[in-house]
Amino acid sequence: MNDKAICKMFEKEMFLYIDKDLPDDKISFWKEHLANCNSCRSLLNDTEIIVGSVKENYFEDLLDVKYETMIEKVVQSKRSNFLEWFFPSGSVREKYAFSFKLAVVGVLAVIAVIISLSTNQPNTVKTISRDLLDWDGEKITTQINELKNKMNLIQDSNWDKQIDVLDQRMKNLEKESDKFSFN
């Protein structure tokens, strides 16, 4: 690899070198290269000067009073976990995350019901829904009325009297049979 290619590679890896986010042998290699290469050394120096100057010059700032008011508001704004779960503070994404999840669950549930109904395989959803769809109010009312009539018939019948009549008949038959035996 010629010098130019090495310098080009340093350009690429310079920031990782600054962060020491490279393997030790690579860092040693660049250290050695920097000791001998004016161009790369000057690139590194310029970069550090620019970054350093920016860091030293934050002109914009909040007024102390404003900052303190903000902090005061923030630390007093702690809400219960319950409220936070339902109505999260912060970004729009977070705020609507719960509603979104709920909507997704709802849509999935509807899809599941549709699939269950449309499939040929028997399943609970289908059975329940068929029962609901097949429910015939009139048929059930007729059955109830029939039962009621039967109950009334049972109540109206004079069973005791019938039994008495049968009993009397039996006695008469016995008497007659006795007569025949004496003869």
Partner 1 sequence: MNTAQEQIMIQKCRNGETRAFGPLIGNYRKQLYSYLLRLCGNKEEAEDLFQETLIKTWMGIKKYSEQQKFSSWLFTIAHNSAMDKLRKRDKEKMITEIEPDDLRDIKDPHKELVSKEIGTKIWNAVEQLSFKQKEVFLLRVNGNMSFKEIAKTTNEPLNTVLSHMHYSIKKIKGFLGNQNER
Question: Which residues contact partner 1 (rule: CB under 8 A)?
Answer: 11-16, 19, 21, 46-47, 50-51, 53-62, 66-68, 70-71, 73-78, 84, 89-93
Q: How far is the CB of 22 from partner 1 (least distance, A)?
A: 11
Distance CA 68, CA 75 (A): 11
Q: How far is the CB of 106 from partner 1 (least distance, A)?
A: 25
Is the Cβ of residue 57 or residue 120 nearer to partner 1 in the bound state? 57
Contact 14, 47 (CB under 8 A): yes
Rounded to 5 degrees, φ, ψ at 57 are: -125, 65
Is the Cβ of residue 24 or residue 61 nearer to partner 1 in the bound state? 61
Q: How far is the CB of 97 from partner 1 (least distance, A)?
A: 12
| Residue whose structure tokens are 């923030």 | 74
Is the Cβ of residue 100 or residue 147 nearer to partner 1 in the bound state? 100
SS3 57: coil
Q: How far is the CB of 21 from partner 1 (least distance, A)?
A: 6
Is the Cβ of residue 71 or residue 103 nearer to partner 1 in the bound state? 71
Is the Cβ of residue 46 or residue 164 nearer to partner 1 in the bound state? 46
Distance CA 90, CA 74 (A): 12
The end-to-end CA distance of the chain, in Å, is 147
Q: Which token pair is 124? A: 């609970």
The dihedral through the CA atoms of 135, 137, 138, 139 has a sign that is positive
Q: How far is the CB of 32 from partner 1 (least distance, A)?
A: 22
